[in-house]
Chains A and B, each alone.
Chain A
Amino acid sequence: MNLEFSDDQKFLQEEARKFFDKEGGLNNARKVMDEATEFDLELWSKIVALGWTGIRIPEDYDGLGLGHLELCVIAEELGRSLAPVPFASSVYMFTEAIIQHGNEDIKKAVLPGLVSGEHVGTYGIAEELSQPTELNVKTNVQNNKINGCKIAVPDAGVASHLVVVVKSDQGIDLRLVDLADPSVTITPQKNVDTSKAFFKVEFNDTPSQLVGKEGEGWHLMQHLLDQAAVLFAFEQVGGSQASLDMAKSYAMERFAFGRQIGSYQAIKHKLADMYISITLAKSNCYYGAWALSSDSSELPLAAATARVSATKAFQLCSKENIQTHGGNGFTWEYDCHLFYKRSKVLSVILGAESTWKEKLIKSLEKTNTLIKE
C-alpha cells in the first residue's frame, strides 16, 4: 500500500510553496482586493512560465503530459497562498474539458495557447441564484448560435475561451465559445471575496463549437466537476492548514491574563478540532487523488467525500482563525478575512455542501452493496 505522493511530486509541492512565498504570498490576494484589479496578471504570467498550465496537456500540444497528482500538490499550495489567478477555471475545468472531449481541430486551436499563456479558459454553468440542474438550463443553442446568459462565471474578464452548458434539441450540450466575439457581453459581478472575480456572460447569437457528444453535456460536466472537486479540495486543505498555522502563531504570541492565550484549553481545543478536521479532509483528499489519477469508477464517491470533508474543514478553520484573533481578526489589516472569504467562495463554487452530500449518498446508493438499489 502506498497512499502517498512520490518524491518528485513532493519536490514539486516544495518548489510551488517556495515560489508563492517568494512572489509575495498573501500580499498578492490582498493587493487585488485593495486595488480592485480582479487578477494578478504578473503572477499568472510567472505561473505560465513555470509550465504549470500545461501539466495535463499532452506533449503533442506543447504540454508536459503529466497526471493529475502533480496538479493536486500545486492545488494545495494555491490554496495556502490564495493566489489570485485563473488557475482553477482554466486548468482544472476548461483544459480538462478540451483534453477529454474536444475534437482534433479544437485541441490544435486551443491547447498550445493554454500552455503558452496566450489563452485562458473558464466555464459557465449557473444561470440563477439557485442550484443548476439538467432541467433548469435555459441558455440554448440553435445552428451553433448561443443565446442566453450565465452568471457567476469565474475569471471571464481575463479569459479568452469558455466551455458552456447549454440546452439543445438533443438535451444538454457542452459548447466552446470564443469570448472575444463581439456578440458576447461580459460584466463583472460583485462577490464576497474580491480576491476572486466573477462575471455575467451574455450571449446574443454567439457562434460556438460542440465539445463532446450532443445531448451528453450534463453527464460530461458532472465528470469534470467530480475531477475538479478533488483539486479544489486540495486547495481547501491548503487554505485550512494556513488558517490553522495563523491561529497557532497568534495563540503563541498573544497574552491575556498574564499568559499566552494558547495555554488556555478553550483555545487549545479549538485548534485541536481544526487539526482533526484537516486530517480527515486531507486523508479523504488522498483517496480522491488516487481515484482521480487512476481513473477509478470510485471517483464520484471519492470526489464527493473529499469535497464535503474539505469544505467543512476550510470553513471551520477560517472562521475559528478569526475567533482566535479576537477583535484583530475582524480588521481588514489582519489576513484572517482573506481565508474566511475564500473558504466561502470555494464552498459554493462547484455546488454547495448539501449538493455534494446528496451526490455522495447517491453514489453510495449506486455502488455500495449494503444499500444498492
Chain B
Amino acid sequence: MDFNDTPEQAKFRATTIEWLEANAEPKASKSSGNTESSLENHLQVSKTWQQKKYDAGWAMLHWPKEYGGIEASPIERIIWGQEERKYNVPGGIFEIGLGMCGPVMMQYATEEQKDRYLSPMAQGKEIWCQLFSEPAAGSDVAGLRSKADRDGDDWIINGQKVWTSGAHYSDFGILVVRHDPDMEKHKGLTFFFVDMKSPGITVKPIKQITGQAGSGSGFNEVYFDDVRIPDSQRLGEIGDGWKVAITTLMNERLAVGDARGADIEEALMLSKAKDVDDEPLIKNNAVREQLADWFCEANGLKYTKFRTISALARGESPGPEASITKIVSANKLQAIGNFGIDSGDMAGMLIDDTDGMSSFQGAWLGAPGLRIAGGTDEILRNVIAERVLGLPQDPRADKGLPFKDIPTKV
C-alpha cells in the first residue's frame, strides 16, 4: 500500500504540470475561481481555454487518436483532473459534449458526420447538450412522450424536454423521442442529434430555487414544435433509442461525481473562526461529533476513490464502490450547508459574506438539486440494491403494455 505514482504515471503528471504551469494561473485558494461573471464572458473564456487545450493535445484525453484524442488511460484522465483542478480554469460547459455526445457520435454517426462535428466539439467551437428528461419522464426516463413522425426523409418532432443543462447556449443536442406509442415503452424510442437553431425549437431557462435562471450551466425547458430532423441524423436503428441512450447514460454515470461545494474543510474553518463568548464553535461537543461524522464520510469517499484509482492503475475494472459517491456527498453537502447557516444562530438567515457564510447558504440551496440530478437518492439506492447486491427488480405496472395503454393517472 502506498500513495505514490508509478514511473509512467509520474511522467504523465510531470508533463501535465509543466503544461498547466505555462498556460494557466494557479488557484489562490480553494474557493477562488467561482467569481461571478456574465454568461457571455464565461462562454468566451471557456472556449478560449478549450481551444488552447485542443491545440496542445489535452482537449479530449480519452478520445481515439483518429478523432484527435490521445487515448489516455482512465488513470491518466484522473491525473489530469487532479492537476487541472489546482488551476483557475473554466470548466463545465463542454463536459456533456465531450463526455456523452462525442462518444455516442463516434459509435453511431456516419464518417462524414464524424468529420463534420467531432473536431469543432473538441475545439470548443460548438457546444452540445443532452435532451432526455421530460416533464412526465424523470427517474422513469423511458416513459418520455415527445414524438417523432416520419415524413419522407425527415422526422417531425413535437413535445417538450426539461432539465436540459446548457440548452440556451448549445449549438447541437442529442435527443431521444418516441416514434411509435403502440410499441412497448422501451421499444418505441429512436435517437437523433439535432441542430439547436432549427426552426420550431424554443429554449426557456428554468428559474431554480436558488433564484438563478440561465446562468452558468443552468437548466432549461426545450419545446419542439414541428421541428424537422433529417433521417440522416438518426443515431442507431429505428427503435434502438433506449439502447443508444443507455450507452450515453453509462458515460454520464462516470462523469457525475462528488457534489461540489462546502465540505468538511469549510466546516472545520468555520467552527474554528466563529465563537460565542470567546469559545470557538469547535469546542462545542455537539459540533465536534458532527465534524467527526462528516470527516469520516469525506475521508471514506476520498479513499473509496483511491481504491477505484488503484484498480484502474492495476489495469483492473473498478468495483461498484464508486456508486455511493453522489448519495453520500450530496447529503453531506446539505448537512454542512445547514450547519453553516445554523452557526449564525438568530441571524443565520442573512445573506452576508462574513466568515464565508454565503458558501454554506449556496450549499444548502443547491444540495436539493444535487440529490436529484443524475439519478435521485432513491434511484441510486435501487441501483445499488439491484445491480450491486443483486436484489430483484420491483414488479412493474407497465411491463409488456403498449406505451399508449400505460396508466398515467387515476
Assess whether B299 is in contact with A287, with CB atoms less than 8 Å apart: yes
- Residues in A259-281 with C-beta less than 8 Å from chain B: 259-260, 262-265, 267-269, 271-273, 275-276, 279-281
Assess whether B395 is in contact with A263, with CB atoms less than 8 Å apart: yes
Assess whether B1 is in contact with A293, with CB atoms less than 8 Å apart: yes
- The answer to the question of B408 belonging to the interface, with a C-beta cut-off of 8 Å to chain A, is no
Assess whether B296 is in contact with A279, with CB atoms less than 8 Å apart: no
- The answer to the question of B206 belonging to the interface, with a C-beta cut-off of 8 Å to chain A, is no
Interface range on chain B: under 10, 10 to 19, 20 to 34, or 35 or more?
35 or more
- The answer to the question of A256 belonging to the interface, with a C-beta cut-off of 8 Å to chain B, is no
In the complex, what residue of chain B is closest to A357 when comparing beta carbons? B292
Q: How far is the CA of A279 from the CA of B328 in the complex (A)?
A: 11
In the complex, what residue of chain A is closest to B388 when comparing beta carbons? A275
Closest Cβ of chain A to B309, distance in Å, is 5
Q: Residue among A248, A272, A276, A281 with the most chain B CB within 10 A?
A: A272
- Residues in B377-410 with C-beta less than 8 Å from chain A: 378, 380-382, 384-386, 388-395
- The answer to the question of A29 belonging to the interface, with a C-beta cut-off of 8 Å to chain B, is no
Assess whether B395 is in contact with A259, with CB atoms less than 8 Å apart: yes
- The answer to the question of A354 belonging to the interface, with a C-beta cut-off of 8 Å to chain B, is yes
Q: How far is the CA of A231 from the CA of B355 in the complex (A)?
A: 40
A248-B389, A265-B382 known; A357-B303 Cβ under 8 A: no
Closest Cβ of chain B to A130, distance in Å, is 16
Q: Which secondary structure dominates where chain A touches chain B?
A: helix
> Using a Cβ–Cβ cut-off of 8 Å, how many residues does chain A contribute to the interface with B?
51
Assess whether A262 is in contact with B268, with CB atoms less than 8 Å apart: no
The one of B265, B378, B388, B392 that contacts A269, using a Cβ cutoff of 8 Å: B378
Assess whether B269 is in contact with A283, with CB atoms less than 8 Å apart: no
Stretch at the interface among B2-10, B165-173, B345-353: B2-10
Contact with A along B106-126 (1 / 0, CB 8 A): 000000000000000000000
In the complex, the number of residue pairs spanning A and B with C-beta atoms less than 8 Å apart equals 163
Assess whether A2 is in contact with B310, with CB atoms less than 8 Å apart: yes
Which A residues lie within 8 Å of B314 (CB)? 2, 4
In the complex, what residue of chain B is closest to A368 when comparing beta carbons? B268
Closest Cβ of chain B to A249, distance in Å, is 10
A279-B300, A283-B300, A293-B1 known; A268-B307 Cβ under 8 A: no
Which A residues lie within 8 Å of B328 (CB)? 276, 280
Q: Which secondary structure dominates where chain B touches chain A?
A: helix
Assess whether B304 is in contact with A283, with CB atoms less than 8 Å apart: yes
Closest Cβ of chain A to B47, distance in Å, is 33
In the complex, what residue of chain A is closest to B382 when comparing beta carbons? A268
Assess whether A272 is in contact with B384, with CB atoms less than 8 Å apart: yes
Which B residues lie within 8 Å of A269 (CB)? 378, 381-382, 385
Assess whether A365 is in contact with B282, with CB atoms less than 8 Å apart: yes
Q: How far is the CA of A211 from the CA of B220 in the complex (A)?
A: 70
Which A residues lie within 8 Å of B291 (CB)? 361, 364
- The answer to the question of B183 belonging to the interface, with a C-beta cut-off of 8 Å to chain A, is no
A2-B313, A268-B385, A368-B268 known; A279-B321 Cβ under 8 A: yes
Q: How far is the CA of A245 from the CA of B290 in the complex (A)?
A: 30
Assess whether A268 is in contact with B381, with CB atoms less than 8 Å apart: yes
In the complex, what residue of chain A is closest to B4 when comparing beta carbons? A1
Q: How far is the CA of A252 from the CA of B282 in the complex (A)?
A: 46
Assess whether A371 is in contact with B378, with CB atoms less than 8 Å apart: no
Assess whether B304 is in contact with A279, with CB atoms less than 8 Å apart: yes
Q: List 27 A-B contacts (CB under 8 A).
A: A1-B5, A2-B1, A2-B313, A2-B314, A3-B306, A4-B1, A4-B311, A252-B391, A262-B385, A263-B393, A265-B378, A272-B389, A275-B388, A276-B324, A276-B327, A279-B304, A280-B328, A283-B300, A283-B303, A308-B292, A308-B293, A357-B289, A360-B295, A361-B288, A361-B291, A361-B295, A364-B291
- B contact residues vs A (CB 8 Å cutoff): 1-5, 9, 265, 268-269, 271-272, 282, 288-289, 291-293, 295-297, 299-304, 306-307, 309-311, 313-314, 321, 324, 327-328, 378, 380-382, 384-386, 388-395
